Amino acid sequence: MKTVIRTAESAGFCFGVKRAVDMIINCLDRGENICTLGPIIHNTQLVEELSAKGVRVIKFPEESVSGETVIIRSHGIERDTQKRMDDLEIPYLDATCPFVKKIHEIVATTEKDGLVIIAGDDSHPEVEAIKSRCSGKHIVVADAKALSERAEDILKSGRKAVTMVAQTTFDSNEWERCIESLKKICTTAEIFDTICNATAVRQQETEKMARESDAMVIVGGRHSSNTAKLVDICRRHCTAIHVETAAELNSRCIQGFQKIGITAGASTPVRIIKEVQEAMSEILENQTELSFEEMLDQSFKSTYNGEKVIGTVTSISPTEIAVDIGTKHAGYVPLSELSDDPSAKVEELVKKGDQLELMVVRVNDVEGTVMLSKKRLDVAAGFEKVMTAVDTGEILEGIVTDVIKGGILVLTSGVKVFIPASQATASRNEDLGGLLRKRVNFKILEVNRPRRRAVGSIRAIAKELRKLQEDAFWSTVAVGATYEGTVKSLTDYGAFIDLGGVDGMVHISELSWSKIRHPSQVVKIGDKISVFVKNIDEENHKISLGYKKEENNPWAILEKSYQVGQDVKVKIVSLTAFGAFAELLPGVDGLIHISQISRDRVGKPADVLTVGQEVEAKITELDFDKKRVNLSIRAILDERTAAEESSAQPATGEAAPEVE
């Protein structure tokens, strides 16, 4: 079946770009010397053509030479740069697109204490120029999500007037979402839809065509942001083939499709679009003529840069692998294109006979070789995975490769994701150095597709996990339940225990049966201990825990194993004017009243006893209700004296010596 090719009506130069290019051509026709401040458009071919006609590209106005007129491109320039040109009396022609100028006027006339929100790409020259013209403060948001995240800043700023504008090439669907977000934050915001109609029309037409086609060829510069957006739009619906010129096309990339659409960025000259149309028609015609020949000799299949192929590993050397991709070319993958890891060994990565998905990097038809890359395909797939993870919420895994100022970099599927310090650990102020070379799980918080950047969070996962654990805990917790917990922090009045999702507190009085001055006398941070629930305050989500166990209760031990009249060894723990306290068991001290210390009169207990001294005493009273124990040294001494005296008495029935 014959392939149908359609070209978008909106493809090619927009009004603003055409105006700027015409301005240059008119100058050239008049024989003027001109230079452009930055490339006039994001189209290498046109810039090269103009350069061949003597149009120089300069970075700063001061680089212009006498007799040269500077052309300001359609993006516009920063206010200070323009002022410098005026001050230095550098002749210039302003080709800033009138639609961009309209935005300059809006932001320049906002209130000085107002806030301007610019929806766009912060680093794009158009946005740089808009920012420089804001009379008050401004913020730039890449999308609606970024705008919502700045809600607090917008509210906190206490700004009287909030104004929102968009970069002229901003995605129209995203703009709708930005408006919705802003309305939720600030109902009085003034919103100016400054998306260029040409951009919106081009994007809408492209989307419609992409939906109806099997493949879309997007013609435009690799650095053109509006072209990149068209590629993104097409990718959502069909195969997207991005080319800068017709030379990048061949039969392999457009074969097999029945409906192919062509669109082009705002800075793509009509001539290049025509060349692409012609090249495609030619390729498709030849393809029909050659198909029989191709069927006869599959081994003479060709390949093209960027193509995805399956290669079978045919040999391995320490620096590269050879692969057969089913074409006449000798395929090879250098080690640097096989893995990101410079220390990786080829033989550990692949073995002979393995089938690998590879990307064609460079075809050399003269030498008959093709350089392939696994890494680039992995990175492309990884990039897509990371970009979509922001919407799907997928948890990614990666290795921390760098600790940098402000956070860490995590490598996942060949893509480095920045995780700010505030999002890198479960709690703030934790040392990031400990994460280096560790495998971590994280979520993507925001992405900037054009700048190929992503920001992630490890903390977001820890938070989610904790929430799940917390819910599980509260649904099962009961008084008396025991838990293994970790001592998280200590205060003067108790220890906080992490029970896995929920923290509970053991009051200092519950840590030990003995009197302690500080919880650190019993536990230390990081200890794993067994605790039980004493009380639950569901309303305030507070848990009181117990640590000391009943079986260790010294009063219970005392009741079981000690009785009045029993002689015990005790240690003097303190001395007072009325007696001495001695430890009977850890947690139970008994009083030896001053009158019970000795058979002799004692002036003060310290005269005969010292703290730490071990003495023998008799239990004279056990009062379990009042938790009181009385001891007596004297009672033992009395007993001993009585025993000695009785042993000194003559035995009963023995005749008394006669007295003469």
How would you classify the pairing of strands 162-166 and 190-191?
parallel
Please, what is the end-to-end C-alpha distance for the chain in angstroms? 157
- Could you tell me which of 161, 225, 171 has the C-alpha nearest to residue 203? 171
Distances (CA, A) of 87 to 61, 65, 83, 489: 11, 16, 6, 64
Tokens of 619: 């239990």
Q: Which residue shows structure tokens 């997207």?
A: 240
Residue selected from 146, 147, 178, 196 as contacting ligand F3S according to rule CB under 6 A = 196
Give the Cα separation of 328 and 476 in Å (integer). Answer: 68
Task: Please give the residue whose beta carbon sits closest to ligand F3S in the complex.
Answer: 16
Considering the rule CB under 6 A, would residue 40 count as an interface residue with ligand F3S? Answer: no
Considering the rule CB under 6 A, would residue 490 count as an interface residue with ligand F3S? Answer: no
Considering the rule CB under 6 A, would residue 16 count as an interface residue with ligand F3S? Answer: yes
Give the interface segment with ligand F3S, choosing from 9-17, 372-380, 465-473, 633-641 (CB under 6 A): 9-17
C-beta atoms surrounding 26 within 10 Å: 12
How near is the Cβ of 168 to ligand F3S at its closest, in Å?
4
How near is the Cβ of 69 to ligand F3S at its closest, in Å?
20
User: Please, which residue, 68 or 232, has the CB nearer to ligand F3S?
Assistant: 232
How near is the Cβ of 204 to ligand F3S at its closest, in Å?
14
For the segment 291-350, give every residue that binds ligand F3S (CB under 6 A): none
- Whether the Cβ atoms of residue 140 and residue 122 lie closer than 8 Å to each other: yes
How near is the Cβ of 229 to ligand F3S at its closest, in Å?
11
Tokens of 330: 């000798």
- Could you tell me which of 532, 565, 557, 546 has the C-alpha nearest to residue 635? 565
Residue selected from 142, 200, 266, 523 as contacting ligand F3S according to rule CB under 6 A = 266
Considering the rule CB under 6 A, would residue 620 count as an interface residue with ligand F3S? Answer: no
Residue selected from 97, 249, 313, 633 as contacting ligand F3S according to rule CB under 6 A = 97
Considering the rule CB under 6 A, would residue 100 count as an interface residue with ligand F3S? Answer: yes
Considering the rule CB under 6 A, would residue 582 count as an interface residue with ligand F3S? Answer: no
**Beta-sheet strand order (sheet of 115-119):** 137-141, 115-119, 162-166, 190-191
**Catalytic residue ranges:** 126
Residue selected from 163, 167, 168, 206 as contacting ligand F3S according to rule CB under 6 A = 168
Residue selected from 5, 11, 17, 445 as contacting ligand F3S according to rule CB under 6 A = 17
- Could you tell me which of 178, 220, 310, 313 has the C-alpha nearest to residue 17? 220
- Whether the Cβ atoms of residue 607 and residue 601 lie closer than 8 Å to each other: no
User: Please, which residue, 50 or 445, has the CB nearer to ligand F3S?
Assistant: 50
- Could you tell me which of 308, 274, 258 has the C-alpha nearest to residue 2? 258
Residue selected from 8, 11, 14, 21 as contacting ligand F3S according to rule CB under 6 A = 14
| Maximum alpha-carbon separation in the chain | 167
User: Please, which residue, 140 or 410, has the CB nearer to ligand F3S?
Assistant: 140
Residue selected from 36, 43, 74, 457 as contacting ligand F3S according to rule CB under 6 A = 74
Phi, psi of 129 (to 5 degrees): -70, -40
Considering the rule CB under 6 A, would residue 15 count as an interface residue with ligand F3S? Answer: yes
Q: Which residues bind ligand F3S (CB under 6 A)?
A: 14-17, 74, 97, 99-100, 168-169, 196, 198-199, 266
